[in-house]
C-alpha cells in the first residue's frame, strides 16, 4: 500500500514537473517569436523611421513599462547605480542600445532573413570572447566549429559568389548586423564578468535605462540631420510593436524563461528565432530563401553542433580534480 502511495506521489510530481517545463519552454518560444517580429517590423518601416529613433523609443517605452514592476527593488537599484554607474552605462549601452541600433541600421540595406541567420552567430562570438576575456575553456572542436560558422557568414555576405569576395563587394547592411551581433556577445560576456548581485528583472530595467541614455545622442543626431520619423499608420504600428510586445513583454518573458529553465537552456532557444524570422519574412515581407542562405546556414549549424555536442575536456578534468 505504501509503495502504491509513493508511486502515485512520484507520478504526480513527475507530471507537475513536466507541465512546468512545458510551460517554461512555451514562454521561451513565445519570447523569441516576439523578438523575431522586431526584425520584421524594423525592416517594414526602414524607409519611414530612422534606426536610432526606433532604437531610442523602443528602450525608453520598455523601460517605462517595466519600471513599476520592479518597484520593490528600487532601494537595491539606487544603491547599485551609485556604486557602479559606469559599468551599468557601458554594459546596458553596448548590449541594449548600440547593438540594436546597428541591427536597425543594417536592416535598411539587408533583408530580415539574412539578419536572422547572422544573429545565430551570437553564441559562437560569445564563446570566443569568453575565452579571451574570462579565460573560459575552448577545446579543439569549439575552434573548428567557430571556423565553420565564420565561413557560413562569409558565404552569406558574399552571396555565395567568390568573385564578390575578390572585389570586396559586400552589402554594408550585413556588416552592420555582424557588428550588432558582436556587441550583443560583448554585452553577454561583460554582464557575466560584472556579476551584479541583484534581482534579474530589476537589473534589466537599470540596463534599459543605460540604453536610453546611450541611444539619446544618436537619436538627437538623426533629428539634427533632418532624418525625422514618418509616424503614419505603419510607423506607429511598428513602433508600438517593437516597444511593447517586442520590447517590454519580450524582455519580461525572457527573464521568466531564464528563471524557469536556467540561462543555458533558455539561451539555446535563441536559434528558434532564426526560423521565426525566415517564416515571418516570407509571409509578411515576401522575402525568399536563396541558395546562399541555405549554404551559409548549413555551415553555421554544423559549427554550432560541434560546439554544443563536443564540450571541451578541460571542464570534465577540472570537475574531477
- Model confidence pLDDT, tens digit, residues 133-180: 887 777 777 777 777 777 777 777 766 666 655 555 567 888 899 899
Between residues 119 and 317, which one has the greater pLDDT?
A: 119
* SS3 per-residue string spanning the chain: CHHHHHHHHHHHHHHHHHHHHHHHHHHHHHHHHHHHHHHHHHHHCCCCCCHHHHHHHHHHHHHHHHHHHHHHHHHHHHHHHHHCHHHHHHHHHHHHHHHHHHHHHHCCCCCHHHHHHHHCCHHHHHHHHHHHHHCCCCCHHHHHHHHHHHHHHHHHHCCCCHHHHHHCCCCHHHHHHHHHHHHHHHHHHHHHHHCCCCCHHHHHHHHHHHHHHHHHHHHHHHHHCCCCCCCCHHHHHHHHHHHHHHHHHHHHHHHHHHHHHCHHHHHHCHHHHHHHHHHHHHHHHCCCCCHHHHHHHHHHHHHHHHHHHCCCHHHHHHHHC
180-198 confidence digits (pLDDT tens) = 999 988 988 888 888 888 8
Q: Is the pLDDT of residue 9 over 50?
A: no
275-313 confidence digits (pLDDT tens) = 788 888 888 888 887 777 777 778 777 877 776 676 665
Amino acid at each position: 500500500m505504501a509503495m502504491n502511495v509513493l508511486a502515485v506521489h512520484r507520478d504526480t510530481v513527475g507530471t507537475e514537473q513536466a507541465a512546468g517545463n512545458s510551460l517554461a519552454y512555451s514562454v521561451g518560444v513565445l519570447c523569441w517569436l516576439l523578438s523575431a517580429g522586431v526584425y520584421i517590423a524594423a525592416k517594414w518601416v526602414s524607409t519611414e523611421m530612422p534606426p536610432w529613433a526606433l532604437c531610442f523609443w523602443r528602450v525608453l517605452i520598455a523601460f517605462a513599462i517595466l519600471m513599476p514592476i520592479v518597484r520593490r527593488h528600487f532601494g537595491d537599484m539606487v544603491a547599485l547605480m551609485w556604486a557602479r554607474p559606469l559599468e551599468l552605462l557601458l554594459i546596458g549601452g553596448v548590449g541594449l542600445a548600440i547593438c540594436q541600433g546597428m541591427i536597425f541600421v543594417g536592416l535598411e540595406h539587408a533583408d530580415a532573413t539574412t539578419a536572422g541567420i547572422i544573429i545565430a552567430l551570437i553564441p559562437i562570438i560569445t564563446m570566443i570572447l569568453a575565452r579571451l576575456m574570462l579565460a573560459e575553456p575552448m577545446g579543439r572542436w569549439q575552434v573548428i566549429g567557430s571556423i565553420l560558422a565564420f565561413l557560413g557568414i562569409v558565404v552569406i555576405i558574399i552571396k555565395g559568389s567568390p568573385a564578390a569576395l575578390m572585389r570586396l563587394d559586400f552589402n554594408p547592411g550585413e556588416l552592420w548586423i555582424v557588428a550588432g551581433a558582436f556587441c550583443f556577445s560583448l554585452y553577454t560576456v561583460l554582464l557575466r564578468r560584472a556579476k551584479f548581485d541583484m534581482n534579474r528583472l530589476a537589473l534589466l530595467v537599470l540596463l534599459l535605462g543605460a540604453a536610453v541614455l546611450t541611444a539619446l545622442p544618436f537619436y538627437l543626431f538623426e533629428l539634427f540631420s533632418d532624418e525625422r520619423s514618418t509616424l503614419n499608420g505603419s510607423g506607429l504600428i511598428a513602433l508600438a510593436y517593437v516597444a511593447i510586445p517586442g520590447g517590454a513583454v519580450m524582455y519580461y518573458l525572457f527573464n521568466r524563461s531564464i528563471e524557469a529553465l536556467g540561462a543555458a537552456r533558455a539561451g539555446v532557444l535563441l536559434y528558434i528565432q532564426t526560423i521565426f524570422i525566415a517564416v515571418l519574412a516570407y509571409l509578411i515581407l515576401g522575402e525568399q530563401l536563396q541558395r546562399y542562405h541555405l549554404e551559409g546556414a548549413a555551415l553555421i549549424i554544423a559549427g554550432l553542433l560541434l560546439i554544443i555536442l563536443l564540450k571541451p575536456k578541460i571542464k570534465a578534468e577540472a570537475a574531477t580534480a
